[in-house]
Amino acid sequence: MRQTSIPLPRAARPKRIVDVHAHVGMSKAYAWLGCRESEKVVERSRKAGIDWSIISHLDALYYPEPQGLKANTSLLRAVEKQPGTFMWWVYDPRNPENARIVKEVAGHPKIVGLKIGPTYHNYFFADYARSILELAEETSLAVLSHSGEERDMPGAIMSRLNRFPNVRFIVAHYGNCAGFAGHFRALTKCRSKKCFVDTSSAVSMYCDHIERGVRKFGSSRFMFGTDTPLYSPAAQLARIAYSPLTDAQKRAVLGDNALRILFKGTVDRHSANPRQSGVNSGITTIQISAKNE
């Protein structure tokens, strides 16, 4: 197992440290912030001690089609070549054609699920919740959603999840809204056992913020996320490693929950490079879809 640059006792180490919320691309707000090279993003995370990264492309969130499809496709080609690297396929539900494309790529071993960004794609989650959740249910894909702004508040998201108990759903950026309490309040009313939050938020740096949530809801609700390359993966990992959480809680948050929920508890099968293992990559299908741009 990799020696982390952030000291972590053996008893606190999961089988894999998994970052469920990484990106490739540049920030729209700050031209200097970000990285377009997935290899550099992954290298930075590996140096910090993160074993697996699940990445989405910022271009697919920020820009309209056909650039979104091109960004998704280019990222898929990149993660196919990088062991321990996976992706969220960015999905804009406003275009019905995108649902067809998702169904085509859903079986790819490197695609963990769908990344949605109501704020960035300019729609209210409530207006498209049914179509998003039905697609996730049909394809057995997990969903990671941006949250914490007017169009994607945690309460509006989690209230819809109660009707889709089989959909694995991560509501990102725990505590980034409503005076740090938006996700906390929403979780108290959420009955879905497959609803989770991730730690990818600058707010996570506040003392006792994550710990309070773990005490209330249990560590099984939390997954480790960094939002790299916008935030430092080393700093985000250190926040959990040096926290007063117990060893068992650290294992759960840093990787065991992600392995259990997103990877069905397996490690070896997902460590293989699909090009080397003979698994159909799905690239041909995506190229066919791209002709319809």
* Successive 10-residue mean pLDDT values, the chain, 293 residues: 73 97 96 97 96 98 93 98 97 97 97 98 98 98 98 98 96 97 97 97 94 98 98 97 97 98 77 46 39 31
pLDDT for the residue numbered 65? 86
Distance CA 69, CA 61 (A): 10
Q: According to the model, what pLDDT value does residue 4 have?
A: 58
Cα distance between residue 171 and residue 192, in whole Å: 12
Q: 10-290: what fold?
A: TIM Barrel (3.20.20)
Tell me, what's the pLDDT at 5?
75
Q: Could you tell me which residues are beta bridge partners of residue 170?
A: 144, 196
Q: How much is the pLDDT for 197?
A: 98
pLDDT of residue 271: 64
Q: Any idea where the domains of the chain sit in the sequence?
A: 10-290
Taking phi over 0 as left and psi of -120 to 50 as alpha, with beta for the rest, 171 belongs to beta
pLDDT of amino acid 6: 82
pLDDT of residue 129: 98
